[in-house]
Amino acid sequence: MKKAIVNLCRLLLAAVFILSGFVKAVDPLGTLYKMQDYLLAMDLGGWLPDLALLAFAVGLSALEFCLGIFMLFAIRRRLTSRTMVIVLAIMTSLTLWLALTDPISDCGCFGDALVLTNWQTFWKNIILLTAALVVAKWPFGMIRFISKSNQWIVINYSLLFILIISGWSLYDRPQFDFRPYHEGTDLREGWNLMMEGNESPYADFFIEKADDGEDITEQVLNNEGYTFLLIAPWLEKADDSQLDLINQVYEYAEDNDYLFYCLTASGESGISLWRDITGADYPFCQTDGTVLKTMIRSNPGLLLLKDGKVIRKWSHNRLPDEYDLARPLEELELGQAAGNTMGRHIAEVMLWFVLPLLLLSITDRLWMWSKWIRKRKNSNSINKKEVKMRKKIVAGNWKMNMNLQDGIALAKELNETLKAEKPNCGVVICTPFIHLASIAQFLDQDIIGLGAENCADKEKGAFTGEVSAEMVKSTGAQYVILGHSERREYYKETPEILKEKVLLAQKNDLKVIFCIGESLEEREAGKQNEVVKAELEGSVFNLSEEDFRKIVIAYEPIWAIGTGKTATAEQAEEIHAYIRSIIAEKYGQAVADDTTILYGGSCKASNAPELFAKPDIDGGLIGGASLKAADFKGIIDAFK
């Protein structure tokens, strides 16, 4: 039930973020205008230049879209879910302010595709934030739709796709136009409804001649022929790179008796400046600036009306040229209504984005399924005698705990308990140096092996306070722990130091329990595989096959040591299998199958059976739970 709830929340979040990011990406200028509204409401108008706001708008759309895709495919599950919580916490706070103060009519979270009231947006964000907290609590409950090895393809392809969408929409115009002036809109019908007192998005639409203030709105909308409208919200900021084409379109309109007006919100000075720059002879009309920005996301842009309907729209980068306008509009395709292009644009998105990812997911799942089949077939073919050769071990690491008397008492209790009830696995206790010689005198090492927690990287000499491998062996110990994360972190033990320790331990016939594992930061960055591989390569992969067979590997995720956190059985098995695979690459499958790999990291009696049941987990290196005989035996009994 928990996994089902997590995945339902995950799909809800994915759908909303993908939709929100996509509709912003197809209309980055619309997002820019909404951000300007926010800044004005906060009395910060003009605080940031438009170019910076536009870059932020594109970045925000890419972030939302990619987070939705990553959530859908369960990519970087922990990082993605936590990032969503942060984003939604910010958005929820912002929309609460909007709902309480109502400085703007809507938040613009879905652009013009879906307009919500400020209170509707707030409650929507509350639901999404709750869902995000559920997913962040149990991120590994999300089922993967694609393997980790292929996630980079989805990450890069999604980011590239959404940035291309934004870039093309800026260069041309939004491919999905949800505004009330899209191609096919009957402006005359909408205007008439508004004039009759009905609610209409055209309430602020008007056209007044700039020279005498005459209202020609009805004249333009009632014209049964063609009308070109050059839309330039602010002539002072208009792009003047296509002046020749604009003038050619005006001359074409004059030659064919088509109406041509430039609609702008600029005043007389702006119009005069534009005339001086362009030599424009066409008439100028005044219209509301917000309406003009809504009509077309281009400054300038061009609309073509026929019989009061919008039949074509062009950005200043895509204006028709002399070849497009070789004959009267009545004889040209662009003089006819464009029809509903929504289906074509949806098909393009499906072809260029959805279909490739769908094919990748299907291929990936088939590949993983075939890999599982091969692995199962190979595991079934392994000789049972060879499987039994891999020793199962539960080892206790006492760390810096217990004085000599308490340590002896614990060792005696364990010795008596396990002699009375033989364990089904190898048992080792690794104690501080002061305990070794005393415990070795009474410990039955046929039942419980004795080990040290460390040894020096020097053979002998003037190294005050150090204990050599030879000294450890002389106490009667059989094992030594090397490479523990606490030694690496607190005492700065490098791969070279550990390499020397391993060589000296083996020279003195000590069995090495070699520890590897990643930090929380490395796990969240998805680097756990390369970290454990580097630790093996740095300190033990220099050994001969014969010497490597004497090594016991202990995988300990640093983020789970002493924290109470435990890797799930699936997580632990996944990386144990990876460790065995890189051992196979180095020494061959036979050596990998014989190598004992232990799990450490808040392992206790309650979770040990599930962990030890995994095929690549051969026991545990136990910390705090090894300090009480009953707790330690509870873990040992997991092998029953």
Q: Is 398 annotated as a binding residue?
A: yes
Cα distance between residue 72 and residue 519, in whole Å: 26
User: Which DSSP helix (H) or strand (E) runs through 60?
Assistant: helix 50-73
Cα distance between residue 78 and residue 477, in whole Å: 42
What does DSSP assign to residue 127? H
- Chain mean position to CA 561: 26
Is the omega angle on the peptide bond into residue 233 within 30 degrees of 0, that is, cis? Answer: no
Query: Residue 166 to residues 22, 27, 70, 351: CA-CA distances in angstroms?
Result: 9, 7, 19, 18
Contact call for residues 397 and 601 (beta carbons, < 8 A):
no
Cα torsion at 536, 542, 545, 550 (round to 10°)?
A: -60
Secondary-structure percent of the chain, ordered helix, strand, coil, rounded to 5: 55, 10, 35
Cα distance between residue 233 and residue 250, in whole Å: 18
Residue 558, SS3 per DSSP: helix
Task: Could you list the beta-strand ranges (E) of 559-636.
Answer: 597-599, 619-622
Give the residues across from 621 on adjacent strands. 395
DSSP 151-175: HHHHHHHHHHHHHHHHHHHHHS--S
Cα distance between residue 596 and residue 549, in whole Å: 9
Q: Is 123 annotated as a binding residue?
A: no
Tokens 């497009």 correspond to 324
Residue 572, SS3 per DSSP: helix
Pairing of strands 309-315, 393-397: unpaired
Q: Is 399 annotated as a binding residue?
A: yes
* Cross-sheet strand order for the sheet of 301-306: 208-209, 284-286, 259-264, 226-232, 301-306, 309-315
Tokens 């534009």 correspond to 274
Tokens 């980068």 correspond to 317
Q: Which residues of 49-66 are buried (b: 16+ CB within 10 A; e: fewer)?
A: eeeebbeebbebbbbbbb
Q: Is 458 annotated as a binding residue?
A: no
Q: Is 624 annotated as a binding residue?
A: yes
Q: Is 340 annotated as a binding residue?
A: no
Q: Is 602 annotated as a binding residue?
A: yes
Pairing of strands 259-264, 552-555: unpaired
Cα distance between residue 19 and residue 26, in whole Å: 11
* C-alpha distance across the termini of the chain, in Å: 29
- List active site positions: 484, 556
- Which residue numbers belong to the known binding site for substrate? 397-399, 562, 602, 623-624
